[in-house]
Structure 1
Amino acid sequence: MGRWEPNARQRLEKAALDLFTERGYDLTTVAEIAERAGLTKRTFFRYFADKREVLFGGQEELTRLFSEGIAGAPAGATPLEAIGRALDAVAGIFTGERLAQARARQPVVAANSELLERELLKRTKMVQAMHDALAARGVSEPTARVAAELGCLAFGTAFHRWVEAGNRREFGALAVEALSELRTATAALG
């Protein structure tokens, strides 16, 4: 595969995930990722700040979709209905083509404390994006914060169910189900 061939970002992501799975995250270098992808280290750094970010690409798109989904909810929508719209908006990026990559990514992240910390930062940014979008709709505190946290919890629950071995359901259906379960659980709190 030549350096000039398209899809450099995807090639780097695949090479990194393959190497992380084969050798472990800590034992894999940027140079090895670039070499496996048929690219240079310099090209790697055009796409990613460091090897950790290979596993967290697309975060900006995700937070944008959460915000747009909430903003696009009907004027009379409740905060959780707006969160449901946000989950619908992000469901489109969790396609069957991404499922194998997501399933391979999870054990790599789970096995490394640095990656788990980065995952928590990603979660914090998602909650903040949903909170800010709800606040822009006029949702007051602490309702906006609670709804955003529930939205992130529904997202995480749906994602973990989606990547489970043997799962055949689409992310969108799992997200609707998770949000519904959380609605029921919060109502039971009294």
Structure 2
Amino acid sequence: MGRWEPNALERLQLAALELFTERGFDQVTVNEIAERAGLTKRTFFRYFGDKREVLFGDQEGFVGLFAEGMATVPPEAGALEVAAAAIERVAAVFPIERQPFADARRAVVAANAELLERELLKRAKLTSAMVDALRERGEPEPVAKVAADLAALAFSTAYERWAEPGNREEFADLAREALAELVAAAAGLSSPAAAPGR
């Protein structure tokens, strides 16, 4: 069974999630994942460096998608428009048929402190990459940080909603909605009574 198998990536992901859900992430080996998928350990390592990558994938490639989206926006666009374009680009990675995988993944990550920490680190790297890209476009530091934080939070919020059991909404729609809500919430933080020096 050392030859290439069709749909090997999906089979490995589904097998891993089934096992992680049944027994917990720490109790599952790469051999068991490959065996459940009807593949070899060698095939597993063609797709993933370790079993965590089944859940987190190619982080550098993911950050690259955000950068691609930001690069499509004209130079005169504002920081939030740039951040929105980044989220739109990444939305293509989340077709609705992947939603059941996301729901199971979310539960596995939530049940493991190490995986939760890695999830937070992934978000921090994403935010940092967006800040750097916005600064390169000439945005001042505070503007770059706020826009990147809002975009990262909108992305996380959209992912949580998209991964909900029974969700049928497209990721891009949920991301636009989340970003609009966050921008409105941020605007509502300021009022004449709350302004500094009053």
Range of TM-score over shorter length: over 0.9
Other structure's SS at 1:151 match: helix
Other structure's SS at 2:184 match: helix
The yes-or-no answer on 1:29 pairing with 2:65 is: no
Choose 1 or 2 for highest CA Rg. 2
Which residue number corresponds to residue 45 of structure 2?
45
Q: What are the residue-to-residue correspondences of 1:22-171 with 2, within 5 Å?
A: 22-171=22-171
Which residue number corresponds to residue 187 of structure 1?
187
Question: In the superposition, relative to structure 1, how do residues 90 and 32 fare at CA in structure 2: closer, same or farther (>3 Å)?
Answer: same
CA distance in 2, matches of 1:176, 1:137: 22
CA distance in 1, matches of 2:3, 2:10: 13
Contact 1:3–1:39 under 8 Å retained in 2 = no
Contact 2:100–2:165 under 8 Å retained in 1 = no
Contact 2:2–2:40 under 8 Å retained in 1 = no
Q: What is the deviation of 1:176?
A: 0.7
What code does the residue aligned with 1:120 have? L
So what's the TM-score if we normalise by structure 1?
A: 0.93
User: Which is further off, 55-64 or 171-180?
Assistant: 55-64
What code does the residue aligned with 1:134 have? L
So what's the TM-score if we normalise by structure 2?
A: 0.89
What code does the residue aligned with 1:100 have? P
Structure 2: unaligned runs, 5 residues or longer: 191-198
Q: What is the deviation of 1:150?
A: 0.9
Q: What is the deviation of 1:18?
A: 1.2
CA distance in 2, matches of 1:120, 1:111: 14
Across the two proteins, how many residue pairs are aligned to each other? 190
- Post-superposition Cα deviations, 1:94-119, rounded to whole Å, max 9, x if no partner, equal 10121111111110000000110110
Contact 2:2–2:42 under 8 Å retained in 1 = no
What code does the residue aligned with 1:155 have? F
CA distance in 1, matches of 2:50, 2:181: 38
Contact 1:20–1:28 under 8 Å retained in 2 = yes
Contact 2:96–2:168 under 8 Å retained in 1 = no
Q: What is the deviation of 1:41?
A: 2.1
- Post-superposition Cα deviations, 1:114-166, rounded to whole Å, max 9, x if no partner, equal 11011011111211221122112111212111211111000001111111123
What code does the residue aligned with 2:184 have? T
Q: What is the deviation of 1:3?
A: 4.5
CA distance in 1, matches of 2:98, 2:91: 12
